[in-house]
Structure 1
Amino acid sequence: MSQWSDLPKELLEMISKGLDSRVDVLCFRAVCTSWRYSACLPSFDQEIPPLVLKLPRPIRADAVLMQTAVCRMELMSKYPNSSSSSLTKSWLVKVGESKYGKLQLLNPLTNYKIKYSPISLNLLDFKFVKLRKDLLLKWSRGFHVFGENKFVPFPISASCSNIDEFGMLAIYHEGKLGYWKYGDKEWTLLDNKNFQYDDIIVYKDQVYIIDRWGTVYWIDSSLKVIQYSPPLYGCGGKKNLVESCGDLYVVDRYLDGERRTWRDYEDVIDNSDNYVHVRKLMKQCRPKAVDFRVYKLDEEWGTWVDVKSLDDRIFVLGTECSLSISSREFNEGKGNCIYFMDGDDFVGRGLSAGSIHVFQLKDRSTEKLSLIPEFSDIFWPPNIVNSST
């Protein structure tokens, strides 16, 4: 690290000015003391007003848009009162920006702020390795936007720093696919025949979506939905897209009951006592996962390959994004598994409250993270199942 910390101040200033988000600058400043003082944030000690998007019907919400990044957080110095400094510790976190321009750590699955830390969190003791950029959309009170399932900026180069050009593609109301550009008075429905879309992802600089039958589509610059793969015809009730080591995977989740449908949300929109119906719908029981199947797309042959093992990889199915990580890079964690949220437990709760579950492909078992603490080592804070987040 010494050779990096000795870089000329002029070069560090040039690098910091080329970063494309405030979160990137914050991570840059956290590398070491010399980097921190070379990259200044404007109005660093002043409150930063949130970027509020007034989303029209059918979502209809004043939503806060935040730039975030999923990172590997590495401890560069030994723990206090620890006899060993030879092992590098690292955790999976989502990094966001507080209203005063400082780093805040978020749960990478639920997006809730991590409040508890077993050691004094001096950012100069840590290095943040960005795994992917992300955008977080939430109500001003911190809750997930009701009715919005998953979104990506469109075009994918769109930046919330130039809000007049910002647009998004979103799956909402459990299956509808729509487009909204800043300033639009309503959403544009992109497919008026298929209301069964499950997930959306940016893969190889292109937006892909998948429906409940396992058919993958891509969206061109004119917002046309074009079929990309044959149907998977998987019998699961919910599908997620995950990029891993350059390949596209589908995680097919088998459920013990029926999911909500777009008709449930239409009833809320059309009803006069909207708030009562929203609360009723939010309290509606969600089916739980009983099994998973994983498939990889063979792009050359246009077929789906049944995957029996992920080897050392871990699939993390979060609220806003899904990703693949190597267990070897996170405290020698347990690989060949899927982390996900299940049922009704995740609303407003932390990792230790039964919200996070782990599916192991080796024996096809599913268990709450709180009951298998050896799988919690990839998350911050350490010993999370004995803590409150």
Structure 2
Amino acid sequence: MSQWAHLPKELLDMISKCLDSRVDLVCFRAVCTSWRYSASSPSFDQEIPRLILKLPSPIHADAILMQTAVCRMELISKYPNSFSSFSKSWLVKVGESKYGKQQLLNPLTNYKIKYSPISVNFLDFKFVQLNKAFLLQQSRRFLVFGIIKVVPFPISASCSNMDGFGILAIYHEGKLGYWKYGDKEWTLLDYKNFQYDDIIVYREQFYVIDRRGTVYWIDSSLKVIQYSPPLYGCGGQKNLVESRGDLYVVDRYLDGERRTWKDYENVMDYSDNPFRVRKLRKQSRPRAVDLRVYKLDEELATWVDVKSLDDQIFVLGTDCSFSISCREFNGGKGNCIYFVDGDDHAGRGLSASSIHVFQLEDRSIGKLDVMPEFSDIFWPPNMFDSSIQNNPGLDL
């Protein structure tokens, strides 16, 4: 990093102005001290106007495309005598509030981290971006009903420049569609398959998977091209995860049927009665009883049953899935999968008690809030540590 730290201030300023979002700018400025003070600082004092996307039927809504950054939050080593030799780091999401301020979020539920057991000066931390995530949000922090997953298409699409801006989405019960800014209707990309489960950007390309476990590549012309053989996994929900350059599928076995579009319509019909909405969600949300992991062998065009993830941790969030190494975080345990249990992707969000951990070693599932040994990788730290106590907390 030493040679990068001495890049000319003018060059760093030019690079920072090319970044797509304020979240990217925060991560850029957090690389090191020289980058922080060389790049232009975002203004947090004034509210930033949001661009409203007027989505047409059947997902008729006025929504905002929200971008967050999954980051490793690292303590800068400025207290060499006050803590042990291993690096202190935590998994967080960096997002932007409606007032234009950066805020820390839970990486699985997107809940705002409202407090910390210690006072922290964020100038003592740097943020290493691991992944990006996107979701469509309506007013009052509600997510858009019926949208399972969404990503900008193409990858370089930015709300700051609407020329060519579009989004790729899985909606209803599994339809794959595309919407370009200004279009009066969605473009359905596959008229035969309405059972898509997940989208991932892998090697700078877009891939989707359906419930049979078949992976498809979406080219620049929006053609859907089969990329893998069917997995024929018997699970009810599939997620794509990239880990160390390979493509994996997590097949989730559920104890009931997943929601249908009629369930979403019923929720909207009873939107004037919050009690009935909560009751409907509770009754119709299936739970995971087992998870299976498979890796795609691209040379042999086959799926390999994975028995161990070694030091890797898979994180299945509400808006993106990714992998991390437990060795890069405090007290993390590998060979496990963090996931949000239930099929609720259309409400305000999920509480921390919804986060579960699946351990491949014994195939057990437990709640994170009663498994403190698995929660050490998240901010805020569970235990008070005087080595990182500092001045009152600052905005990022």
What's 2:255 paired with? 256
Q: Deviation of residue 261 (structure 1)?
A: 2.5
1:268-299 per-residue CA deviation (whole Å, 9 max, x = no partner) reads 59x9x574699375454211000011000111
- Where 1:193 maps in the other structure, the secondary structure is coil
What's 2:9 paired with? 9
Matched, 1:308 2:339: no
Distance 1:166 1:268 in 2: 32
What's 2:54 paired with? 54
Matched, 1:145 2:144: yes
1:209-249 per-residue CA deviation (whole Å, 9 max, x = no partner) reads 11111111111222222111111111111100101111110
Farther off after superposition, 208-217 or 337-346: 337-346
Q: Deviation of residue 144 (structure 1)?
A: 2.2
Whether the 8 Å contact between 1:71 and 1:132 is mirrored in structure 2 is yes
What's 1:219 paired with? 218
Q: 1:99 to 1:37 in 2, by over 3 A?
A: farther
Whether the 8 Å contact between 1:312 and 1:327 is mirrored in structure 2 is yes
- Where 1:26 maps in the other structure, the secondary structure is helix
Whether the 8 Å contact between 1:71 and 1:129 is mirrored in structure 2 is yes
Distance 2:153 2:344 in 1: 32
Q: Deviation of residue 256 (structure 1)?
A: 0.6
What's 1:182 paired with? 181
When the two structures are superposed, what TM-score results if normalisation uses the length of structure 1?
Answer: 0.89
Whether the 8 Å contact between 2:110 and 2:349 is mirrored in structure 1 is no
Distance 1:73 1:42 in 2: 19
Q: 1:153 to 1:274 in 2, by over 3 A?
A: same
Q: 1:216 to 1:189 in 2, by over 3 A?
A: same
The structure, 1 or 2, with the larger RCO (C-alpha pairs under 8 Å, 6+ apart) is 2
Whether the 8 Å contact between 2:258 and 2:343 is mirrored in structure 1 is no
Matched, 1:109 2:103: no
Matched, 1:26 2:26: yes
- Where 2:327 maps in the other structure, the secondary structure is helix
Distance 1:78 1:343 in 2: 42
Whether the 8 Å contact between 1:172 and 1:178 is mirrored in structure 2 is yes
Q: Deviation of residue 370 (structure 1)?
A: 1.0
Whether the 8 Å contact between 1:77 and 1:85 is mirrored in structure 2 is no
Farther off after superposition, 358-367 or 69-78: 69-78
> Percent of aligned positions with the same letter in both sequences?
79
What's 2:387 paired with? none
Distance 1:220 1:11 in 2: 34
Farther off after superposition, 359-368 or 279-288: 279-288
Q: Deviation of residue 349 (structure 1)?
A: 4.3
- Where 1:48 maps in the other structure, the secondary structure is coil
Whether the 8 Å contact between 1:200 and 1:207 is mirrored in structure 2 is yes
Farther off after superposition, 53-62 or 309-318: 53-62
Q: Which runs of no fewer than 5 residues in structure 1 stay unpaired?
A: 385-389
Whether the 8 Å contact between 1:72 and 1:128 is mirrored in structure 2 is yes
Q: 1:105 to 1:144 in 2, by over 3 A?
A: same
What's 2:73 paired with? 73
When the two structures are superposed, what TM-score results if normalisation uses the length of structure 2?
Answer: 0.87
1:172-219 per-residue CA deviation (whole Å, 9 max, x = no partner) reads 122111111111112122222221111111111211111111111111
Whether the 8 Å contact between 1:78 and 1:85 is mirrored in structure 2 is no
Q: How does 1:121-200 map to 2 (within 5 A)?
A: 121-200=120-199
1:4-47 per-residue CA deviation (whole Å, 9 max, x = no partner) reads 66654334323323433221212233455554343224654221
Q: 1:371 to 1:104 in 2, by over 3 A?
A: same
Q: Deviation of residue 51 (structure 1)?
A: 2.4
Q: Which runs of no fewer than 5 residues in structure 2 stay unpaired?
A: 384-396
Whether the 8 Å contact between 1:178 and 1:190 is mirrored in structure 2 is yes
What's 1:387 paired with? none
Distance 2:132 2:342 in 1: 27
Distance 2:272 2:191 in 1: 28
Matched, 1:244 2:243: yes
Distance 1:208 1:33 in 2: 37
Q: 1:4 to 1:208 in 2, by over 3 A?
A: closer
Distance 1:43 1:289 in 2: 43
Whether the 8 Å contact between 2:30 and 2:36 is mirrored in structure 1 is yes
- Where 2:94 maps in the other structure, the secondary structure is strand
What code does the residue aligned with 1:93 have?
V
Q: 1:234 to 1:247 in 2, by over 3 A?
A: same
Distance 1:216 1:13 in 2: 40
What code does the residue aligned with 1:231 have?
P
Distance 1:297 1:34 in 2: 42
Distance 1:32 1:250 in 2: 35
What's 1:36 paired with? 36
1:324-382 per-residue CA deviation (whole Å, 9 max, x = no partner) reads 1000001141000000011379964442xx21000000000000001110000111111
- Where 1:12 maps in the other structure, the secondary structure is helix
Q: 1:166 to 1:18 in 2, by over 3 A?
A: closer
Distance 1:123 1:169 in 2: 35
What's 2:362 paired with? 363
Distance 1:183 1:146 in 2: 20
Q: Deviation of residue 315 (structure 1)?
A: 0.3
